[in-house]
Structure 1
Amino acid sequence: MATLQISGLTKHFGSVLAVDSFALDVEHGAFVSLLGPSGCGKSTILRMVAGLLEPDAGTIRVAGKDVTWLPPNKRNIGLVFQSYALFPHMSVFENVAFGLRRRKVDEGAIGKRVGEALEMVRLGGLERRLPKELSGGQQQRVALARAIAPQPALLLLDEPLSNLDAKLRDVMRFELRRLQQELSITTVFVTHDQEEALTMSDRICVLSQGTLHQVGSPREIYDNPATPFVAEFFGRSNGFEGTVATAGDVATVALSESVALRTTHLPAGARPGDPVHVTIRQESVNVAAANATDDGIIGTLELVSFAGSTAQFVVRLAGGIELNAETRVGRGGDLPQAGSTVSVDVAPADVIVMART
Structure 2
Amino acid sequence: MATMAAGLVENVWNGPDLLEQVLDSGNVGEGRLLLLEQESERLGQRVVKVPPTSLLQEALLHLSGVRGLLGQRQPVDVQRRLARVGAQLATVVGEILFNSNQFPLARRWYLAAARAAREAEDGYLGDIVLAGAAYLPTYAGEPREVLAHILPRLEQGPSPSPAIAWLWGFAAKAYAALGDQPAFERAIEASRLSLEQSSPDTVQPGIFSFLPEKHAFYEARGRVDLRDTEGAAAAAARALATYDLTDTTEPALVRFEHASALAQAGEIEEAYRIAVGAITDPHTFHSVSVVTRAHEFGTLLDPAGQIVREWREVLAGLSAPDASISALSPVPRT
Tell me if both proteins adopt one fold, taking TM over 0.5 as the criterion. no
Q: Normalized per residue, which structure has more helix?
A: 2
TM-score (norm 1): 0.29
TM-score (norm 2): 0.31
Larger Rg, first or second structure (1 or 2):
1
